[in-house]
Chains A and B, each alone.
Chain A
Amino acid sequence: MIHDQANYEREAEDVREPLLSEKGQETVDVREDSPLPDDLTREALTLPNPSEPETARHYTRLSQMNWAIDAGPYPLGSCTMKYNPKFTEDVAADPNAAVHPDRSARSAQGTLALQYRLQEVLADIGGMDAVTLQPPAGAAGELTGILVAKAYHEHHGNDRSEVVIPASAHGTNFATAATAGYDVVELPSGEDGRVDLEALEAAVSDDTAALMLTNPNTVGLFERDITEIAEIVHDAGGLLYYDGANLNALLGRGRPGDMGFDVMHYNVHKTFATPHGGGGPGAGPVGVVDELAPFLPTPRVREADDGGGYERFEPSHTIGKVHGFAGNWLVLIKAYAYIARLGDEGLSDAAAKAVLNANYLAERIDLEVPFGPFHHEFAATAGDRDAADVAKRMLDFGVHPPTTKWPEMVPEAMLTEPTEIEGRSSLDDLAEAFNLAYADTDAALDSAPTRTAAARIDQVGAARDPRLSWQALDGE
């Protein structure tokens, strides 16, 4: 199960695949043939000028130096690296989807119809009353949700200044609260890895705008006291925000809306299998309960009164916009297609198999998993080994390692989320990679990885002497 990544080292130059700029650049005299006066133009433009065959080879070689879910297991905890069904690409590539956002509603009925249907199914899945599709990523969804909460409080004359966030939450939660202008109150984790109700009681006050919660949390534990948590937050006048990063574990078995959450985001690139694309584009629709619907971003889509179609409308107390247009529309189409493919049973089965896989894998690895019962992901501890080193060594055994050293409540954490797409034999391979790496010698761990396109990369040096463009490499 060991497979090398393509490695195109050239002996004379220590580059694997030269930069496009190193293959040849051309300088064009911009003013020579310009319809504009010289004082409005630049003199020259210098960029690579590869032929199309050279371009194809360049990017094909680069692709061969890149791990991907279609290459093998990619169990990054919290990232939900599922298989991305190919047909969803074809659905999104429909030329009729390629319309401009400023079209009249009259002439864009097809797009509005699909938007409306997606809003509806997402609302059902989350147990929410109203959904906006505008946020272009999960963190943008968080910001949207928190801005909605803020607008709600302000509308009711409440000047609240704090957002409460468990210490184990995603970094985006903290950054989002700050971006929205809130102070962050960090909630220490209870001994069982969950929210400690007494600590929560102590943390909330008249200043609490919201509690941001991930459920199951970032070590896969369901917050069993969710009803009490919701009561505590609501009694203090705060709102309960659901971070949708781990929704995959709940599909068909639990809905944030039924648990007392007032506002949530969905990570469609996680739960609904749209491709992660090397770090985006994703999409982060936001669902809310009725009381918060008037504050959602504008425009939303609804059925027209005359019954003949769909229309855009501005919610009465809208927060305005969180994306210049309608978000990452092509991604949202893929999410709709995925949900339709699975249906009720498929969605529920996805959660079941995701949880089954995580539990099976945890059973098969030699590393200790301190917190349970976990659902779709678990945080194993590398104990006295360095989790980052173990991860590097796992690369040599033909798998992508889990998320490392996070969350901090597990020492040397390896946060692992195999998702539902791995079968038993692939989980066995993954377990073997864990176990071989974990038991390997210090020397082997230090020198790993050895079978990837690049050997261990100097991260400290990269940050100390930042070289962020080929221009900065000039003369090297």
Chain B
Amino acid sequence: MSRANGTPYAPHTDAETAAMLAEIGVDDEEALFDIPESVAFDGEFGIEPRTEREIRDECARMLNRNDDLTEFLGRGHYGHYVPSVVDHLSDRAEFLTSYTQYQPEASQGFLQALFEYQSMLVELTGLDVANCSMYDAATALGEAATLADRVRATSGDVVLVPEQLREGKRAVLENYCAGVDLTVETYPMADGTADVDALADRAGDDVVMLYAESPTVRGCIEERLAAIGDLAGETDALFALGSDVVALSVLQSPEAVGADVVVGEAGALGLPTSYGMGLGIFACSDEFLRQVPGRLVGASEDANGDRAYTLTLQTREQHIRKERATSNICTNQAWVALRAAIHAATLGPDGLVDLANDCVREAEALATRIDDCSGAAAPVHDRHHFREFAVRVDQPAAAVAEELEAEGFAVHAIGDHLLQVCVTDLNAGRADGLVAAFEEVL
């Protein structure tokens, strides 16, 4: 048994390779390649192969150059404690190393897990249908806009979004809108939430989709969602509501405020802080079932009459419908959806509601303490907050953020004199330190 240097993940011994080549009837592996000389690559990348241990050391050393900061960062990407059971179950190779369930009879486990994930989102949104994932909240919002373009026969091409919106989310939305000739416009905010009167003035026949968020990018809980829903309904615009899976467990049901589509982030469950990796929620009412982007798992029966699960309504999808598909998405975030479902199961409804209530209480408590620091006022907006809130500082915000970083804490600088602070179960225990750091630097 021997094999030449090569990939450690191919099992061929040299003798086996030779026997296989003989069976095929060629002399060597090179004879199997049909690449013209003129475009063949005979150079080197210069990548030295390393051992597992060397790579683990190398990457650990590299990543160790990240400063050891306590992050009070949010604005769309949230870290909550992820119970160990989530890692251990989702890391089972039967889940992690499987692919899309093109053969449902051999993929019942993952299909059922995704069916359960969809069901959880149906409960949380009150809407009829949830798909089994988009990439993240931003791309889900983009997909909502293209859905609006397909289903709304309004005269115009405007997607209305709040003026305070995460810049990256808006940028992604613009890219999806450009392809279907939609234009993104903003409506004003009043003290952190939608200025509903201004919105009423703006709403009209030219609006295909009206988007609102709760919590907003600054962590404010929107107080007049039903009124916004009514405005959308009056002009036949699609009402898309952005939220996240933890907030949805306590806030008004999207269905109750007239939402047609719910988008947002479900990675707040199941995913640790991961440099922005996400899990996009996409839920909508039955009316748009055949216009939903992405994969759907449905219940059916097998030949024995037993309940079984399968990907369904695939004629919406790119591999069947090609350029007339509802989206170009293929690979999505299925495994992250599995993790979110396991996390939710571990918490149960009690645990989920407790977690969400803590997001309100901890934010309020920390804002009050920062407000007590001289030179800072928090929260900036006179609203209820979820996880995060804006802080007004007398000194330039960027300088304050930099000084806080030197003290070991990361916060957002969002304006000339505005910071934003996000608190979850992960960093709440370090709130004393953050407050002390604020007192130190202000």
Contact = CB atoms under 8 A, between A and B. Distances in A.
B6 A469 contact: no
A67 B102 CA distance: 11
Given A17-B112, A59-B342, A324 B169 contact: yes
Contacts of A273: 9
Contacts of A224: 34, 36
A245 to B, nearest CB: 10
B303 A455 contact: yes
A41 B254 CA distance: 11
A41 B221 CA distance: 10
A68 B97 CA distance: 5
Contacts of A452: 105-106, 108
Interface string B119-136: 110111000111011011
Given A47-B352, A94-B63, 9 more contacts: A137-B331, A179-B176, A253-B35, A276-B97, A330-B277, A375-B32, A449-B105, A468-B122, A468-B297
B327 A254 contact: no
Interface stretch (B10-18, B372-380, B433-441): B10-18
B112 A101 contact: no
Interface stretch (B156-164, B203-211, B230-238, B357-365): B357-365
A139 interface: yes
10 contacts: A35-B360, A50-B345, A111-B66, A175-B321, A227-B38, A279-B331, A324-B77, A344-B47, A424-B20, A457-B310
A323 B135 contact: yes
Contacts of A67: 94, 98, 103, 106-107
Interface in A311-369: 319-331, 333, 336-337, 339-350, 352-353, 355-357, 359-360, 363-364
Nearest to B334: A279
Interface in A1-45: 5, 9, 14-17, 19-21, 25-28, 30, 33-37, 39-42, 45
Contacts of A158: none
Contacts of B412: 102
Contact of A353 (B5, B10, B58): B10
A400 interface: yes
B345 A344 contact: no
B175 A322 contact: yes
A70 B122 contact: no
Nearest to A216: B34
Given A35-B364, A137-B331, A277-B95, A98 B274 contact: yes
A454 B302 contact: yes
Contacts of A42: 250-253, 256
Contacts of B19: 424
Interface in A109-124: 109-111, 113-114, 117, 121, 124
A441 interface: no
A455 B310 CA distance: 12
B325 interface: yes
A202 interface: no
Contact of B349 (A28, A68, A344, A346): A28
B149 to A, nearest CB: 11
Most buried by B among A42, A280, A349: A280
A298 B107 CA distance: 38
B9 A85 contact: yes
A458 interface: yes
Contacts of B221: 36, 40
Interface in B137-165: 137-139, 146
A36 B300 contact: no
A443 to B, nearest CB: 13
A156 interface: no
Most buried by B among A101, A121, A326, A403: A101
Most buried by A among B76, B146, B289, B335: B335
A420 B9 contact: yes
A331 B135 CA distance: 13
A114 B63 contact: yes
A16 B103 contact: no
B200 interface: no
A46 B10 contact: no
B331 A280 contact: yes
A69 interface: yes
Contacts of B40: 253-254
Contacts of A55: 85, 89, 342, 345-346
Contact of A324 (B76, B322, B352): B76
B59 A466 contact: no
A345 B77 contact: no
A97 B350 CA distance: 31
A68 B405 contact: no
Nearest to A127: B41
B219 interface: no
B172 A323 contact: yes
Contacts of B115: 19, 468-470
A393 B272 CA distance: 41
A59 B89 contact: yes
A356 B47 contact: no
A340 B84 CA distance: 29
Interface string A179-211: 111001000000000000000000000000000
8 closest A-B pairs by beta carbon, nearest first, are: A325-B276, A343-B49, A349-B6, A277-B335, A324-B138, A62-B109, A66-B109, A110-B65
Contact of A97 (B275, B335, B361): B275
Interface in B28-65: 29-30, 32-36, 38-41, 44-52, 55-56, 58-60, 62-65
A59 B344 CA distance: 13
A274 B176 CA distance: 27
A210 B25 CA distance: 39
A444 interface: no
